Amino acid sequence: MSQQAPHPQPAADFGEDVPRLLNRLQVAAVALCVLFGVLAALFQVLSWQANGRAADNTDQVVRVQEIQTSLLRADAIATTAFLVGGLEPPEARAAYDAAVDDVLRLITDAADAQPADRRVLADLNVEVRSYTTGVAQARDYNRQNLVIGIAYLNSAGDALREDALPIVQALVDANSDRALDEMDGQSPILLLLVGVLAVGGLVLVNREISRRFHRRINVGVVGAAAGIGLLTLVIAVYAGTKSGSNADTRDGAYDTAVSEASARTAANDAKAQESQGLINRGSGAQYEELFAVAAQTVEENASPATLRLWRDYVVEHQEVRDLDDRGSWDDAVALATSSDAGDPTAALDAVDAAAEQVVTDAAAEAADSFGSGGVVALALAVLTLLGGLVAAAAATWGINQRRREYS
Amino acid sequence: MKRPSPSGRLARRRTWTGPVVALLLVLAACGYDETTVPSPDPATVEAGGDDGPSCTNDGSQVRSYAPEGDVLGGDAVARIRKRGRLVAGVAADTFLLGSRDPSDGQIKGFDIDMATAIADRIFAPATGKLELRVITAAERIPLLEDGTIDIVARNMTVNCDRWQQIAFSAIYYDAGQKVLVGRDSGIEDIAGLADKRICAPGGTTSIQNIQTIQPEAIPVTAGDNSACMVLFQNGEADGVSTDDTVLAGLAAQDPYAVVLDTDFLTAEPYGIGVNADDVDLVQLINVVLEEMRADGRWQDSYDRWLRPSLQVPGKQPRPQYGR
């Protein structure tokens, strides 16, 4: 369909410099199209990058939570091993060493993954070394049957909670904030705004031309506006969809990973408190209060499957407390340190293993979700840039038509 | 005047959009703010003890209730017998007085022998009928007052302030505050503590005593005596000051530590703590202490636990009654 008439008639205002006006309108139209292409493509690239960073930050959140869990797991194992006596069970020693190895490896991984965390991770490394030194001293004294060993264990545990864990919590908080910020990195409204402004600008250009040439529509300019409008619709819908997907992932897999990791950390803390309560035989009340705090965290954050296992453990834990509170300390220790299936240690191990699996799966799902669609996002960005340039060319062509008609 | 062609303008516009895009991309790629750890709330400064005594230790504080009548017939003893066990608050980290033996997990020591003797007298024998509850120094009086424990056998100094809250048995050991230092530290007397970091548990009178006797000493506090010893062994304190019995236990675990051979900085007479209402239980304990003197159990316990480290023959204090 063509709107061109065989003999176009310029506007009646003969005092106006129409060629100059056409030049200005052409520059404006081209600028609008190019700016749209560049800005919209840029916003899309930024959003794509934000999603990538959301995935990376999710991994980092889980990583530092794993550090938190492993530290408390190490402490729970070390504390429980003290109950057994001077001769630490080899399997407890191996489990403690494995937990500490995990911590050290994760600190290195975390430092590699996020430069902004490096200084704090270096501080954490110092605290972890101080903790493991304290536990090693405690173990050495304990093996020599010197009671000062328990003071070293207590000092190490206190320092862990007062110095090391606040650092880990700061890392969890900082990376959670980063992840959540990046999840909001999609900008469908901004894309719509840029698109609407570009289309609006082109409509104005078209109006200015039509007032002077008695043609309501300049095919090139209107074609450019229509193309940009269509492109805007596509990219805004995609960005909106991705934004919705991010929100779903944030409230779904991401939340599951973070919550489950919190539950896992608290479960290990609870076991350490159980052992502390027994070491301070008969006076476990203050540790039971700390156990209750940790238990509440588990109740509020664990997945249903983990929660069932946790409640199994709580039943066992209550039996330990009842024995101690009734004065049967030896029986309470025997139960708490037993490695038999169904006893507290095994029950807690089951909680830990289940939670670890949930965290791993959910974190992978969240990171995959944030990182997905990269090819589409980049292709759309390129398409947008090209679309802007094509629109600019169309507008140029359309206005050139009028210039030819005028001359 | 020559106007720039539209294509020329477009070309110019393209020349600046490139750098703008590059700049925005660089900005987008910038890192995050460095992670910081929030500062902890300012720690409460340890006062270093109570608000000060509200009474004067004029010597009457060591007087207890004289045994009389049927010592097993009182209400408190009947309550304990009905329950089927005596609940004693003890320490588990004070080597020689009350500490957990890492080899078998059992709590042993001079104070534990006292508690065992009391339980033996009530239940004859006490096997399985003595419940040891590990408590902190700060928990001693509150747990006696609320009835959680029946007695405290945890190197507890008898003084008039405490008598206003609880009751005590007759004195079963005369301890006193001394100072532990490094064997080759060059510190040989109290004067040598000037400018030295001396640790005592926060919230105790020990740290105040040191400051009174040697004002130039630098006070350091820790959670308990063992935590002070950890600071000492890690080079964060030059000495530890507390009861000589406790220091003997700490020195026994460290060949590089020695207790300064000085007079007692303060007298710390130990008594068994009891709820103020359980006068009959106090009377029974006083009977037990005299029986231990008579049959040599007190001396045996002293010789087993304290004499090897204190290296002086111990003597059970004579009881003083009249309360």
**Cross-chain residue pair B10–A30, CB shorter than 8 Å:** yes
Which pLDDT score, from 0 to 100, does residue B49 have? 44
How far is C-alpha B172 from the geometric centre of its chain's CA atoms?
A: 19
B60-172+271-321 matches B175-259 in fold: yes
Does position B190 have pLDDT exceeding 50, yes or no? yes
Q: Domain B60-172+271-321 is classified in which CATH homologous superfamily?
A: Periplasmic binding protein-like II (3.40.190.10)
Which pLDDT score, from 0 to 100, does residue A2 have? 41
CA dihedral A141, A143, A144, A149 (to 10 degrees): 20
Residue of B nearest to A392 (CA): B10
**Cross-chain residue pair A283–B6, CB shorter than 8 Å:** no
Domain-located, residue A8: no
Each residue's pLDDT tens digit, A248-282: 999 999 999 999 999 999 999 999 889 888 876 65
pLDDT above 90: percentage of residues in chain B: 60
**Cross-chain residue pair A42–B17, CB shorter than 8 Å:** no
Chain B residues whose CB is inside 8 A of the A166 CB are 37-38, 40
Higher pLDDT, A329 or A129: A129
Number of domain units in chain A = 1
Domain-located, residue A182: yes
Each residue's pLDDT tens digit, B34-45: 999 888 765 444
Mutation site for B-interface testing, chosen from A83, A275, A283 by largest number of B Cβ within 10 Å: A283
Domains of chain B, residue spans: 60-172+271-321, 175-259
Each residue's pLDDT tens digit, A42-91: 999 999 999 899 999 999 999 999 999 999 989 988 888 887 766 777 88
Which pLDDT score, from 0 to 100, does residue B51 have? 53
**ipTM score above 0.95:** no
Which pLDDT score, from 0 to 100, does residue A326 have? 76
Which of B37, B94, B223 is the closest to A170 by Cβ?
A: B37
Which pLDDT score, from 0 to 100, does residue B133 have? 87
Each residue's pLDDT tens digit, B214-230: 999 999 998 888 889 99
B26–A contact, CB cutoff 8 A? no
- Give the pLDDT band of residue B14 (cuts 50, 70, 90): very low
- Give the pLDDT band of residue B156 (cuts 50, 70, 90): very high
Domain-located, residue A11: no
Domain-located, residue A10: no
Which pLDDT score, from 0 to 100, does residue B113 have? 97
B223–A contact, CB cutoff 8 A? yes
HEC sequence for chain B: CCCCCHHHHHHHHHHHHHHHHHHHHHHHHCCCCCCCCCCCCCCCCCCCCCCCCCCCCCCHHHEECCCCCCCCCCHHHHHHHHHCCEEEEECCEECCCEEECCCCCCEECHHHHHHHHHHHHHHCCCCCCEEEEECCHHHHHHHHHCCCCCEECCCCECCHHHHCCEEECCCCEEEEEEEEEECCCCCCCHHHHCCCEEEEECCCHHHHHHHHHCCCCEEEEECCHHHHHHHHHCCCCCEEEEEHHHHHHHHCCCCCEEECCCCCCCEEEECCEEECCCHHHHHHHHHHHHHHHHHCHHHHHHHHHCHHHHCCCCCCCCCEECC
Mutation site for A-interface testing, chosen from B5, B20, B37 by largest number of A Cβ within 10 Å: B37
Domain-located, residue A200: yes
Each residue's pLDDT tens digit, A208-222: 888 888 778 889 999
Mean pLDDT for all residues in chain B? 86
Listed by number, the residues of chain B in 302-321 with a beta carbon closer than 8 Å to a beta carbon of chain A are none
Chain B residues whose CB is inside 8 A of the A399 CB are 6
Domain-located, residue A193: yes
- Give the pLDDT band of residue A283 (cuts 50, 70, 90): low
Each residue's pLDDT tens digit, A344-368: 989 999 999 999 999 999 999 998 9
B145–A contact, CB cutoff 8 A? no
Mean pLDDT of A224-238: 94
Does position A103 have pLDDT exceeding 90, yes or no? yes
Domain span including residue A314: 18-406
Domain-located, residue A142: yes
Does position B288 have pLDDT exceeding 90, yes or no? yes
Each residue's pLDDT tens digit, B103-143: 777 899 999 999 999 999 999 877 779 988 888 888 899 99
Does position B5 have pLDDT exceeding 50, yes or no? no
**Cross-chain residue pair A148–B135, CB shorter than 8 Å:** no
B175-259: which CATH number, 3.40.50.300, 3.40.190.10, 3.40.640.10, 1.10.150.80? 3.40.190.10
Which pLDDT score, from 0 to 100, does residue B24 have? 56
